[in-house]
Structure 1
Amino acid sequence: MSKPNDYTELLAEIKARIQTAQTRAVLAANSELIRLYWQIGEQLTARQAREGWGAGVIPRLARDLHNELPELKGFSERNLKLMAQFFRAYPALFADHAPIGQPAVAQLPWAHNVLLMQTVKDERVRNWYVGQAVAEGWSRNVLKLQIASQAHRRQGNAVTNFAARLPAPQSDLVQQALKDPYIFDFLTLQAGFQERELETSLVRHLEKFLIELGRGFAFVGRQYHVTVGESDFYIDLLFYHLKLRCYLVI
């Protein structure tokens, strides 16, 4: 008879496998949906270019799809137009030789892609947000906030002495982990606040603070006690960066 610890380990392993499979299934389903929308957009764009359809074709198509397949959602007039726009934004997405970085688009939910198409017109900048959203698992609301705060302009722009003090590639990695400036507009402090008030408010809004800091930061503690020799010190805010494997001291 197996020991209880053996069973606990077995349960944990099977649970992890199930969760991994579920995640893969969700990602695969999303990728197929994005592929379907892209293919419909391709077909609509090609037929319009070839046959010169008028403005009334897509509304008619939306009505007929609803009548023929009433149980299906997501094929409204607005969404069909967005599919055509999506194809025009990424004409080679599902081609044999898709541009570098574009396959990540298929990993994002449709709502994320719609937001990016409508708010970020520069393809290079849009691809940056696609990569960050996939890598950091941003929700649509977080993605919207990052776009509004122009995160792409701030990432890696902090003025530092990392290049002089740290060896490569560590210096480059640390540089890319920091922004300039950081935007804490979720705080409600009035001008003239004290340092301790800022610290308290940041901890109170810790989730939003971590999102603004970026991926990989883990909160260790506030007023963290450190003893050096016979002296006591207290670090205001202490973080650990999982990718860099180092502490961030504020």
Structure 2
Amino acid sequence: MENNNEKFFQKVSELLEKGRKNVKTAVNLSMVYTYFEIGRMIFEEEQNGEQRASYGKYLMNELSEYLTAQFGKGFSVTNLKQMRQFYVVYSGDKISQTVSDQFSNLPTVSTGRKFFLSWSHYLKLMRISNMEERHFYEIEAAKNDWSLSELNRQFDSALYERLALSTEKENVYRLAQKGQIIEKPSDAIKDPYILEFLGLDELPQYSETELETRIIDHLQEFLLELGKGFTFVGRQVRFTYDEEHFMVDLVFYNRLLRCFVLFDLKIGKLKHQDIGQMQMYVNYYDRKVKLPEENPTIGIILCRDKNNAVVEMTLPEDNSQIFASKYETVLPSKEELQKLLKEQTVGGEQS
């Protein structure tokens, strides 16, 4: 009887939590739409009074005092300027219709634009000057339900630049239109992976076992870094072949690609023997573990350093299963990644 009551109480509790979350989301979105319209009204009023000297400053000060008297805190001159900037940034900014269609229940503002995130999210996004990059983070935050702290983390780790550098040049623009789309194995790969959340030193003064343990201890953050569709299967997954025992460091499954994803961790420079070992792991999973309806296994060697020439020479030209990616234990320089991306998009070779 107590167990049945407990299950019933849990269901009621979950329903309340969902309802509160929906209310909170509705309030946050209503605030965003309202602030956009306030920003529009301020902008248009300033344009009408632009002949008068210092009219904009006067308008902001007077409006701030009036709204504060009427509604209390939240309408400082700084906040009103942010609302005006919000309108300026997004008034002529069109986001992919495909993304808007996924949120068909949301209204549109006078310009035909929809908003999907909280005001705090848009305060962050407004500071991104590159429109394509801004679109990408807005789409990913909406699709993946990123909190503000997760949005900040993904931006600080230069996710946009890393994905853009890891994809074909002609597909970079698609990131700004649809976000990250997982259709083939290479779409799920990042290079480098940023693991600053592990709290490890920049110099590899740790063992591969410690690296693996830190990843397991921070599995939620690692899954977010891996990206869409990944679920954890196990660590040090053992298999036996021809009376020899082997251990795969980390095994995941990607629901979008419908395949196993194996990780081998290397704290030093990648060697061609490491690639051969991963090839054997992948072959075993393809022949002994995966189901007929599942797709071929992916192997990712996560290493501290690599020589691209060695990787290219070791792997077959039509390789679509084995990947070698570097990992960093500190946040990268966005400026350096942006420079590499600019070189790539104007015709430089892919890094």
Summarize deviations over 1:140-190 as a string: whole Å, max 9, x none.
122112112211111265489xxxxxxxxx983432222111112333233
1:219 matched to 2:235? The reply is no
1:220 and 1:239 in contact (8 A); partners too: yes
Q: CA deviation at 1:11?
A: 7.3
1:80 matched to 2:80? The reply is yes
Q: Summarize the Cα distance change of 1:159–1:90 in structure 2 as closer, same or farther, 3 Å threshold.
A: closer
1:151 matched to 2:139? The reply is no
Q: Give 1:185's aligned residue.
A: 196
The one-letter code sitting in structure 2 at the alignment partner of 1:132 is E
Residue-pair matches, total? 231
Q: What CA distance in whole angstroms lies between the structure 2 residues aligned with 1:201 and 1:88?
A: 44
Q: CA deviation at 1:207?
A: 2.7
Deviates more, 1:81-90 or 1:197-206: 197-206
Alignment of 1:160-171 (within 5 A): none
The one-letter code sitting in structure 2 at the alignment partner of 1:233 is F
Q: What CA distance in whole angstroms lies between the structure 2 residues aligned with 1:230 and 1:243?
A: 34
Q: Which runs of 5+ in 1 are unaligned?
A: 161-169
Q: CA deviation at 1:41?
A: 0.3
1:154 and 1:179 in contact (8 A); partners too: yes
Summarize deviations over 1:72-95 as a string: whole Å, max 9, x none.
x43222111111000111115734
Q: Give 1:163's aligned residue.
A: none
1:65 paired residue among 64, 67, 75:
67
Q: Give 1:126's aligned residue.
A: 134
Q: CA deviation at 1:47?
A: 0.2
2:116 paired residue among 84, 107, 124:
107
2:212 paired residue among 199, 215, 221:
199
Q: What CA distance in whole angstroms lies between the structure 2 residues aligned with 1:90 and 1:245?
A: 37
Instruction: Using the aligned pairs only, state the percent identity.
Output: 30
Using structure 1 for the length normalisation, give the TM-score: 0.78
Q: What CA distance in whole angstroms lies between the structure 2 residues aligned with 1:24 and 1:197?
A: 41
Deviates more, 1:89-98 or 1:131-140: 89-98
1:155 and 1:177 in contact (8 A); partners too: no
Q: CA RMSD in A?
A: 3.0
Q: What CA distance in whole angstroms lies between the structure 2 residues aligned with 1:33 and 1:174?
A: 40
Q: Give 2:325's aligned residue.
A: none
The one-letter code sitting in structure 2 at the alignment partner of 1:179 is K
Using structure 2 for the length normalisation, give the TM-score: 0.57
The one-letter code sitting in structure 2 at the alignment partner of 1:45 is F
Greater relative CO, 1 or 2 (CA 8 Å, sep 6+): 2
